[in-house]
Amino acid sequence: MPSVQELKNQIAMLRKVGYGDLTMPEDHNQKVKVIKMLTQFYPCPELESIIPKLRTVKNGSIIQPDDHNNIVNSIKAFRDCIATLTNTKQLDEDISKLRLVKKGDAVLASDHNDIVRCLNDIADLLPIMPHPWFSCQHDFKRTGYQNLDYTYLLAGNNNGYLYCYTKDGNLYWTFNLGQATNNQPIISLQHNIYETTGVWTGAPTIQAISFTPNLLWKQLLHNFTTGVASFDYDSNIYVVDNGTYLTKLTEDGVIDWSLQIGPANTSSRYITNVIDKDNIIYTGDTQSTVCAVTSDGVFEWKLTLTNWAEYTALDEDNFQFYVIGTKTVGRDTLYAIDLNGIINWSFQTPSGNLYGMCIDKSGNIYLAGGANYEVYALDPDGNLLWSYKTGGEPNGYPAVTPDGRLYVYCFDGNVYAFTTDGTLLWKCYVEAYPVRQPVVGNDGNIYISYGYLGNSLCAISPDGTLLWSTPSVGNIFSQGLALV
């Protein structure tokens, strides 16, 4: 996949055509090249259906109205695909100036220049859009919401298998990873699956699997992994193996570098990493250190907390990185750290552990956990907005949707649905030992994996109706499902 900068470099090659000058074949052909690059940034079936109609024009030939119109329609199609993900106001204004050229009319200099303006708008939007590869929790705000269409659910298992189910709950295929996994898979734009293995025992690896499924590659890591891998914005992969090493791999599985971020240890903590638009990685270790690391493997800063640095989230809109400092016994703490490594504020539970957080579109943070069975909502400045006492200890990351719904899953066996202002909408009983967080599809359905007792997967409708529940083959021990 090309980088955004590579796309901008190609757009920069498009010249501004002066009034009265003709748009040349090389101008048109460069626009075709740029449009084709857009398909690699975000899945857009409407755009992909137009691509075969785009033709390159030979030198000396005349650019036909259809050539120009297909470019215009391509831009409009891409805009429609991203409109729900980001603010397209400027792009919309510039698209309104695009004209479709009638048969027999000439393509004017202004037609060309208006297209170039729209392409620049798109290039400016790409870095601030949710990344299409951040399936479910991998939007780094940890929303648990999947904004793309999906057909299947993926979950790892402590028996060493990766399972694929249809969204109706039918087992579609299994793949033998050879080692237990405790982690949510991540999915590439090409629907390749990346999963880390070697939980507590066995050879620690990260594996790439095609959706067929076939093994594409396998790479040995330093230590067992209880965290989730992440993609950066240039399609590289980062893994923190139990808080000891941060490893960067290419999409093809080649290790670029490994950086020791903490002392060697054998404790099992859920260490995660988040990545900003400049490809700075924020993570922690099991010895109370949090750090920011460049994509070249150089520390930007390091900070010592009083707790293990475990669950993480990132809100670039408010320039804050969040990490939950955990203790074996005692009160967990949420730290809000600015992206330069300064602690802005902290929030501590009255008692007990926190098991994750999510951030809504307004920057409000939702926390699950605590021995007093409460869900907490905080604003970006750390002020408590509301709390709600559930019937059991909340467990796992909560999930929040763009339309303002919050889902939390508790040890009383219920999934709780709230509005983001704290109003309880419904609760749905699934099992008295839930252990994993919900994920939400773009159709509003909620999916949950829960293990130990029933070893099951289930789906719940947006109104709280249990749609289906199916026993898994073995214990679904993944830290969450992925939708694809």
Number of independent structural domains in the chain: 2
How many other C-beta atoms are found inside a 10 Å radius of the C-beta of residue 30? 19
pLDDT at 479: 59
For residue 445, tell me if it sits in a domain: yes
Interval 76-111: pLDDT, tens:
999 988 886 677 889 999 999 999 999 888 888 899
Q: Could you give the 3-state DSSP secondary structure of residue 30?
A: helix
Domain of residue 314: give its range.
138-483
Residue 405's DSSP bridge partners are: 419
Q: How confident is the model at residue 156 (pLDDT cuts 50, 70, 90)?
A: confident
Q: Are residues 175 and 68 in the same domain?
A: no
Q: Are residues 451 and 387 in the same domain?
A: yes
Interval 263-293: pLDDT, tens:
766 555 567 788 887 889 998 876 778 899 9
Q: Are residues 90 and 162 in the same domain?
A: no
Instruction: Decide if pLDDT at 364 tops 70.
Output: yes
Q: Are residues 123 and 147 in the same domain?
A: no
Q: Are residues 165 and 100 in the same domain?
A: no
* Rg over CA atoms, the chain: 24
pLDDT at 202: 66
pLDDT at 136: 41
End-of-domain residue from the set 103, 128, 153: 128
For residue 97, tell me if it sits in a domain: yes
pLDDT at 267: 55
**CATH number for the domain including 317?**
2.130.10.10
Q: Are residues 199 and 329 in the same domain?
A: yes
Q: Are residues 123 and 144 in the same domain?
A: no
Average pLDDT, the chain: 84
Q: Are residues 124 and 180 in the same domain?
A: no
319-322, long-range: CB < 8 A, 24+ apart: 320/344, 320/380, 321/274, 321/282, 321/290, 321/292, 322/357, 322/359, 322/365
Rounded Cα–Cα distance for residues 285 and 326 (Å): 11
End-of-domain residue from the set 65, 97, 128: 128
- pTM (2 decimals)? 0.78
For residue 301, tell me if it sits in a domain: yes
Q: How confident is the model at residue 454 (pLDDT cuts 50, 70, 90)?
A: very low
Q: Could you give the 3-state DSSP secondary structure of residue 7?
A: helix
pLDDT at 292: 95
Interval 159-210: pLDDT, tens:
788 889 999 999 999 999 988 777 788 887 677 899 888 766 667 889 999 9
End-of-domain residue from the set 94, 128, 162: 128
Q: How confident is the model at residue 134 (pLDDT cuts 50, 70, 90)?
A: very low
Q: Are residues 240 and 323 in the same domain?
A: yes
The percent of residues in the chain predicted with pLDDT above 90, rounded, is 39
Eight-state DSSP code of residue 98:
-
pLDDT at 200: 60
Q: Are residues 145 and 291 in the same domain?
A: yes
pLDDT at 135: 46
Rounded Cα–Cα distance for residues 454 and 433 (Å): 9
Q: Are residues 198 and 99 in the same domain?
A: no
- Confirm if 400 and 365 have CB atoms less than 8 A apart: no
Q: Are residues 120 and 177 in the same domain?
A: no
For residue 323, tell me if it sits in a domain: yes
For residue 133, tell me if it sits in a domain: no
Instruction: Decide if pLDDT at 428 tops 90.
Output: yes
Residue 432, burial from CB neighbour count under 10 angstroms (0-12, 13-18, 19+): middle
Question: What sign does the CA torsion over 275, 246, 161, 250 have?
Answer: positive
